[in-house]
Structure 1
Amino acid sequence: MAKISGKYKYLRDDGNFGRYLRVTGLSEEHIEIGKQLCPILEFIKFGDEYTMRITSEVISKDVKFKLNEEVKGKTPSGKTIKATYSLNGDHLIQKQTLESGFTATIDHEFRDDGLTIPTNGTVAFALVNIAG
C-alpha cells in the first residue's frame, strides 16, 4: 500500500483537465490560466483528519476533511461545492457536487512513484512524489 501523506508536484496533463474545468462552469479565461499552473498537492494526516494543501502560483488553499464525512467549500471561482472522501487501498476517492448539480468522482491514486488523478474515469493529470 502506497503512503497517502506526502507532497506531490504537477507533472503533466493529458488534456482532460481543461474539459473537466469546463464542465464545472469555469470561464475559458480561467480554464486557460488553470491549465498553465504547476500546483503542488500535499496530503497531511493528523489523527482522523486529513488536510489536502493546494499551492500554486495564484492560490494557496487547505481542504480539511475526515473520511466519509461531507465537507462544504468554495471553488476558486466562488461556487459552492460539497465533497465526501473515502479510502480504498491506495485510492483516496473524492465525490463532489457543485451547486449547479454537476457531480464528479476524483480518484487520487497513490503509487510509490507519484500520484495520478483520474476524474470521472479519465486521467486529468499526474503528479510526482517530491517529498515523503
Structure 2
Amino acid sequence: MMENSKQRIALLLVIFTLLKIGFSDEPIDKYLGKKYTMSTSENFDAVMKALGVSMWYRFLARVTTPQMVLSKSGDEYTLSLTSLVKNFVQKFKPGDTNTIMTPDGRTANSTITFDGNVLNEIESDLNGKVTKIKRTFNDTHLVIVLEVDKIIAIRTYKANKQ
C-alpha cells in the first residue's frame, strides 16, 4: 500500500514538473551546446539502489552537482555529464543501439530517440534491468525522469547563463 502511495506521489511530481517547464515542438538541436547544472534530485537514490549501484557510488551521486551538455558533430550526438567526481560521455546516433558503460559502471545497451525537445533513452543492462530515461530540454531547464522497476526519479537542471 505504501509503495503505491509513493509511486503516485512520484508520478504526480513528474506531471507537475513537466507542466511547469512546458513541452515544446522545438527540435533538440536548438539546445546544442547549452550547459545545464543540476538543481534538484528526487528519489534518485531509490532508482540507483534498484539498479544494484553500490552504497558508495550512491553517496557520491548525492553529493555532486553535475553539469550536462548535448553536442553534435556530423550526424553523431554527444551527451556529456561532468562533475568533480566523474565525467561521462555518451556518443550516439538517434535510433541506433550502442553498448555503453553507464556512469555507475554497468554495461548496458542504449537506444536514444528524439521527439521534439525530448531525448528518450532505453537502457538494458547485463542483469536484465531496463531503465527508461526521458530528458526534456527547454531554454531555462532540463528535466530528467528516470524509471526502473516502476520506481521514478526526477532530476532538474537549470540552464547556465551564457
TM-score, scaled relative to structure 2:
0.75
| Residue 140 of structure 2, aligned match among 104, 113, 124 | 113
Shift of residue 68 of structure 1? 0.2
Partners of 1:116 and 1:125 in 2: how far apart? 6
Map of 2:155 onto structure 1: 125
Task: Note the alpha carbon deviations across 1:56-106, whole angstroms, 9 max, x for none.
Answer: 011122110000001111134432111000000110001101111000110
User: How many residue pairs are counted as aligned between the two chains?
Assistant: 131
| Residue 7 of structure 1, aligned match among 35, 50, 57 | 35
Map of 2:52 onto structure 1: 25
Aligned amino acid, residue 127 of structure 1: Y
Aligned amino acid, residue 11 of structure 1: S
Q: Secondary structure at the match of 2:77?
A: strand
Moved more, 117-126 or 101-110: 117-126
Shift of residue 29 of structure 1? 2.0
Aligned positions of 1:7-86 closer than 5 A: 7-14=35-42, 16-86=43-113
Map of 1:102 onto structure 2: 129
Shift of residue 42 of structure 1? 1.0
Partners of 1:44 and 1:78 in 2: how far apart? 23
Instruction: Quote the RMSD (CA, aligned, Å).
Output: 1.7
Aligned amino acid, residue 154 of structure 2: A
Partners of 1:131 and 1:22 in 2: how far apart? 34
Partners of 1:19 and 1:53 in 2: how far apart? 23
5+ residue gaps, structure 1, are none
Partners of 1:78 and 1:126 in 2: how far apart? 22
Shift of residue 123 of structure 1? 4.3
8 Å CA contact 1:83–1:96 kept in 2: the answer is: yes
Partners of 1:41 and 1:131 in 2: how far apart? 14
8 Å CA contact 1:116–1:123 kept in 2: the answer is: no
Shift of residue 128 of structure 1? 0.8
Shift of residue 19 of structure 1? 1.0
Aligned amino acid, residue 93 of structure 2: K
Task: Note the alpha carbon deviations across 1:104-130, whole angstroms, 9 max, x for none.
Answer: 110000112110001128342100111
Q: Secondary structure at the match of 2:52?
A: coil
TM-score, scaled relative to structure 1:
0.90
How many percent identity over aligned positions? 25
